[in-house]
């Protein structure tokens, strides 16, 4: 063998070795859960959480390898309180064909505002703020109940998911999969990943079709009416800071439509009804 060929073999071996190492790292990362890291996850009142998120010092710890939008895990520290957070910087957003580039973080914050207006506390406290790599959304990390599998909840059409289905119809959620449902000890279920919401085009994509065509319960209809009223008021003002005007107007029309029909929406055969992958 010539020296050159030797060199080539050596380089190929080195490349193989590096690849093996990267694979081992990925495997190790895949086995690590955020819960196993021992980060602080205090249960905070929403106001306190928002103050901490907006004003605390943000330290980023790593990237969530499951995330397609380069979501980062971090800790935010304030006066005597600290909490684990998820940060999705705008710069990490994957461009999509059906949403304007660089708008996902704001949609997450808009979804939090809508969730607060429902009074159902579906979306964990979320703010828009600057981080080490620019502006993004910052959301409290929620400690889930390891005993509860969200896929089982979906398959059983667990009644606690009804309000999330109502919320998704209101915000036009395009990505409600089982993995975006976070059951917590005590029975509450949070929803996360609301970056693809508020499109002016109807595109509800969800695994929560269990109540399609069924009438809204009185409380659900009352919440939709409240959302509609607040769109003409403080919620509308908050959403206009985060979304295009046409998207806020479309939300009003969507709510009018839901209230007029009085029933959970049905899948539209002309467009995809399920997010992909559904988990
Ligand atoms: N606030 C949160 N608390 C706990 N876990 C979360 C939170 N937000 C997201 N996750 C977890 O991290 C995963 C990735 O986050 P997600 O918002 O879905 O990012 P992406 O935009 O990349 O899909 C989620 O599927 C969920 O398991
Ligand atoms: Mg996701």
Residue spans per domain, the chain: 38-261
Ramachandran angles phi, psi of 64, nearest 5°: -80, 110
Nearest atom in ligand 1 to the alpha carbon of residue 144 is: 4
CA 235 to ligand 1 center in whole angstroms: 25
pLDDT grade for 15, boundaries at 50, 70 and 90: confident
What's the mean pLDDT in 166-193?
A: 98
Using omega within 30 degrees of 0 as the cis cutoff, is the peptide bond preceding 277 cis? Answer: yes
pLDDT grade for 10, boundaries at 50, 70 and 90: low
Nearest atom in ligand 1 to the alpha carbon of residue 139 is: 1
Radius of gyration for the chain, computed over Cα atoms and rounded to the nearest angstrom: 21
71 lines ligand 1 (CB under 6 A): yes
Cα–Cα distances in angstroms (integers) from residue 135 to residues 95, 106, 196, in the given order:
16, 10, 18
Cα–Cα distances in angstroms (integers) from residue 168 to residues 110, 183, 222, 231, in the given order:
13, 17, 16, 16
CA 142 to ligand 2 center in whole angstroms: 15
| Pick from 235, 238, 175: nearest CA to 207 | 175
119, 158 contact by CB (below 8 A): no
pLDDT in tens, 200-235: 999 999 999 999 999 999 999 999 999 999 999 999
Lowest mean pLDDT across 10-14, 86-90, 187-191, 229-233:
10-14
* pLDDT, averaged across the chain: 94
Query: Which amino acid residue places its CA nearest to atom 1 of ligand 1?
Result: 141
**Hey, what are 142's tokens?**
């929620």
252 lines ligand 1 (CB under 6 A): no
CA 124 to ligand 2 center in whole angstroms: 15
What's the mean pLDDT in 251-259?
A: 98
**CA pseudo-torsion sign 61, 277, 177, 206:** positive
Confidence (pLDDT) at 46: 98
pLDDT at 169 over 80: yes
| Pick from 226, 266, 250: nearest CA to 114 | 226
In percent, the amount of the chain with pLDDT more than 90 equals 84
142 lines ligand 1 (CB under 6 A): yes
Query: Which amino acid residue places its CA nearest to atom 9 of ligand 1?
Result: 192
Cα–Cα distances in angstroms (integers) from residue 134 to residues 7, 90, 130, 131, in the given order:
43, 7, 5, 5
pLDDT in tens, 44-82: 999 999 999 999 999 999 999 889 999 999 999 999 999
179 lines ligand 1 (CB under 6 A): yes
């Amino acid at each position: 063998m010539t020296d050159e060929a030797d060199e080539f073999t050596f380089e190929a071996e080195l490349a193989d070795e590096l690849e093996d190492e990267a694979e081992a790292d990925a495997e190790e990362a895949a086995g690590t859960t955020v819960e196993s890291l021992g980060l602080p996850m205090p249960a905070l009142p929403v106001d306190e959480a928002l103050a901490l998120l907006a004003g605390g010092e943000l330290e980023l710890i790593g990237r969530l390898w499951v995330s397609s939008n380069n979501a980062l895990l971090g800790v935010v520290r304030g006066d005597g309180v600290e909490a684990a957070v998820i940060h999705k910087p705008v710069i990490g957003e994957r461009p999509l064909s059906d949403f304007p580039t660089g708008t996902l973080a704001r949609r997450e914050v808009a979804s939090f505002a809508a969730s607060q207006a429902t009074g159902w506390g579906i979306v964990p406290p979320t703010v828009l703020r600057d981080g080490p790599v620019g502006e993004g959304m910052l959301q409290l990390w929620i400690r889930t109940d390891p005993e509860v599998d969200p896929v089982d909840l979906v398959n059983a059409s667990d009644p606690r998911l009804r309000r999330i289905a109502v919320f998704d119809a209101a915000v036009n959620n395009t990505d409600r999969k089982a993995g975006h449902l976070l059951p917590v000890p005590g029975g509450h279920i949070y929803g996360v990943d609301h970056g693809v919401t508020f499109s002016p085009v109807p595109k509800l994509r969800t695994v929560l079709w269990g109540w399609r065509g069924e009438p809204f319960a009185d409380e659900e209809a009352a919440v939709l009416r409240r959302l509609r009223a607040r769109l003409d008021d403080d919620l509308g003002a908050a959403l206009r800071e985060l979304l295009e005007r046409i998207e806020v107007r479309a939300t009003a029309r969507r709510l009018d439509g839901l209230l007029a029909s009085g029933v959970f929406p049905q899948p539209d055969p002309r467009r995809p009804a399920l997010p992909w992958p559904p988990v």
